[in-house]
Amino acid sequence: MATYKVKVATGTDFFSGTLDSISLTIVGTQGESHKQRLNHFGRDFATGAVDDYTVQCQQDLGELIIIRLHKEPHSFLAKDPWYCNYVQICAPDCRVYHFPAYQWMDGYETLALREATGKITADDTLPILLEHRQEEIRAKKDFYHWRVFVPGLPNYVDIPSYHPPPRRCRNPNRPEWDGYIPGFPILINIKATRFLNSNLRFSFVKTASFFYRLGPMALAFKLRGLVDRKRSWKRLKDIKNIFPATKSVVSEYVAEHWTEDSFFGYQYLNGINPGLIRRCTQIPDKFPVTDEMVAPFLGEGTCLQAELERGNIYLADYRILDGIPTVELNGQQQHHCAPMCLLHFGPDGNMMPIAIQLSQTPGPDCPIFLPNDSEWDWLLAKTWVRYAEFYSHEAVAHLLESHLIGEAFCLALLRNLPMCHPLYKAMSLGLEGFAQVMVRGLSELTYKSLCIPNDFVERGVQDLPGYYFRDDSLAVWYAMERYVTEIITYYYPNDAAVEGDPELQCWVQEIFKECLLGRKSSGFPTCLRTIPELIEYVTMVMYTCSARHAAVNSGQLEYTSWMPNFPSSMRNPPMQTKGLTTLQTYMDTLPDVKTTCIVLLVLWTLCREPDDRRPLGHFPDIHFVEEGPRRSIEAFRQNLNQISHNIRQRNKCLTLPYYYLDPVLIENSISI
């Protein structure tokens, strides 16, 4: 008689426990146990519980390789979902086997789990293990399907039994979660989450906290009459009263310094869209800036051509927004432009705007605005650029390059890698105009642009002083790269093992097909042949789904709560003549009160720290059991701790701290 001591851990989230009947079958290399019921009279499998059991077998089962959990009805009770963390079994020879689950069992079903040792396909020799990994992938592909979101954008997960409403909003003046939020076309549908499999939904804690925060704040806005005012703001200072209790060092600085040219330029380096600016070596024909125009702003003893040659001229070009249609908000037609902004990095270390054109087509009705124009002309020109920043940031840097691409990476992983694969264990994870911007963004996206070190070199900003976003992102990237290198080289002995891993290659091919839509000019690989190629690819995926999102998401409210710094819509056309702008025309161009408040309410909700956050490098789910990978995880955490310490020490010396890439504040995956 062989005795096996079993521990079963239930999840800690609310309602993780179950009253259903749970049975266990143990499979080893020398045999299989009988199916044994574990729970007794509803006392087991409570939320957060770790329950102990004993399973008796007629013979020693040999090395344990698979277990089966059977969830069945308990008398007259309805189906009761159960979240299983893991099962741990101590064999008669005292060897402990770990079987990670970390998933829901919704109905009456059988869940087969492998022992936790990470293995690529070539490592499996037993037919039962090869069959198991093939069956797991087949089942996931049967359940998780791709669906076209918007033609030209990455495909996304098809939600069974859910059919979204038409994308064109029924009432553009009414904010709805499943339609169009004025000035901010959020592509999130909270209603759809109830159709998701439990393993894809937000946790109960996250969902509850989301509505707990949003509901009272939305009601407060309603009671204060803010969401019913369709008029212009009477005074700029009134905007501060939207969130009187939500202030930070950064938001206060923005409100005090938003008109300053130095702060305008600073935001290209360390604001919430710091990946746009690039070094300019030749003035574009479509932006006919002359030396005579900008000489007064370059300093003595130099000229535009000299500064171009020295690498001190930078360009922010919003061509991706050209020709995008606008909508009516609150009964008023909105206006749009695709500006260009020329900047100069001076010897004092400031990035300063020196010329702005509000169109991609020069001409007599498209003047080039300069810092020595009238105060309100220059301020409105800069505000138009900040408006373009809003859409470049929200549509491309945030939604496309973080959320949509991250979801495609994740779905391809779910469909192609079984839980035992080491890469599965290593991974953390109007509308029409908005969509057009993203489609254009995807058409220009390249693999190298998502590999951060290459992106800085390609944009010519690798040695630009005061670029804290670059410094911190590189530190996090290289820490990830070191961790990924240790994991990959532990499981892949040589290049042949990489090229010969069919599951890995299917994952890469599916990302190319479903995320990049098969566009060869993207430079995304369709296969990986070497260990260095695999390391770079996995590092890119990890960074995209964590640090990249943190850089563009965490500071949204701080930089936007003072609305003129980041307006979501403009109610007057771009200026065609200089000298006509006044305070009143400026106020009448900014978003109205209602639009401002709705946009800020959304951003406030998105930027709140989640109640179930998991900082980068912290993996509460135990997937790795081998000593080597576990040491690598601990080393990764230590590296991140050092990066966090360095960032905080640097910030003590800065008037305006940059902390969005502090690893302590980066989530393991995109969680909102």
What gap in Å lies between CA 648 and CA 657, rounded to an integer?
9
Does residue 617 have a known ligand-binding role? no
Burial class for 262, CB neighbours closer than 10 Å (0-12, 13-18, 19+) = middle
CA-closest candidate to residue 156, choices 164, 144, 168: 144
The alpha carbon dihedral of 283, 284, 290, 296 has a sign of negative
**CA dist list (Å): 620 to 109, 135, 409:** 26, 27, 22
145 labelled binding-site residue: no
Could you tell me if 529 and 495 are in contact, meaning their C-beta atoms sit under 8 angstroms apart?
yes
Q: Apex CA 543: angle with CA 540 and CA 546, to 5°?
A: 150
Closest Cα to residue 332, out of 593, 597, 598? 593
Which residues are CB-neighbours of 40 under 8 A, at least 6 positions away? none
Euclidean distance between CA atoms 287 and 341, whole angstroms: 9
Q: Which residues contact 378 (CB under 8 A, 6 or more apart)?
A: 369, 370, 371
398 annotated binding-site participant: yes
375 phi, psi to nearest 5 deg: -55, -45
User: How many angstroms separate the CA atoms of 593 and 232, rounded?
Assistant: 6
163 is in an annotated binding site: no
Residues contacting residue 549 through CB under 8 Å, at least 6 positions apart: 398, 402, 403, 406, 667, 670
Any known ligand binding at 17?
yes
Determine the Cα–Cα distance for residues 663 and 661; give it in Å rounded to an integer.
Answer: 6
Strand duo 368-369 + 36-37: pairing: unpaired
By C-alpha distance, which of 273, 288, 269 is closest to 342?
Answer: 288
| 618 assigned ligand-binding residue | no
Asked if 278 contacts 461 with a C-beta cutoff of 8 angstroms, the reply is yes
Residues 186 and 195 sit within 8 Å (Cβ to Cβ): no
Beta carbons of 342 and 294 less than 8 angstroms apart: yes
Quote the CA–CA distance of 75 and 611 in Å, as a whole number.
Answer: 36
Rounded to whole angstroms, how far apart are CA atoms 335 and 95?
Answer: 69
Q: Please say whether the beta carbons of 243 and 604 come within 8 A.
A: yes
Q: Which residue in 105, 82, 93 sits closest to 28, CA to CA?
A: 93
Task: Please tell me the chain's helix, strand, coil percentages from 3-state DSSP, rounded to the nearest 5.
Answer: 45, 15, 40
Bridge partners of 70, per DSSP, are: 23, 110
CA dist., res. 62 & res. 468, Å (int): 56
Residues at the binding site for Fe cation are 398, 403, 549, 672
Residues at the binding site for Ca(2+) are 17, 80
Residues at the binding site are 17, 80, 398, 403, 549, 672
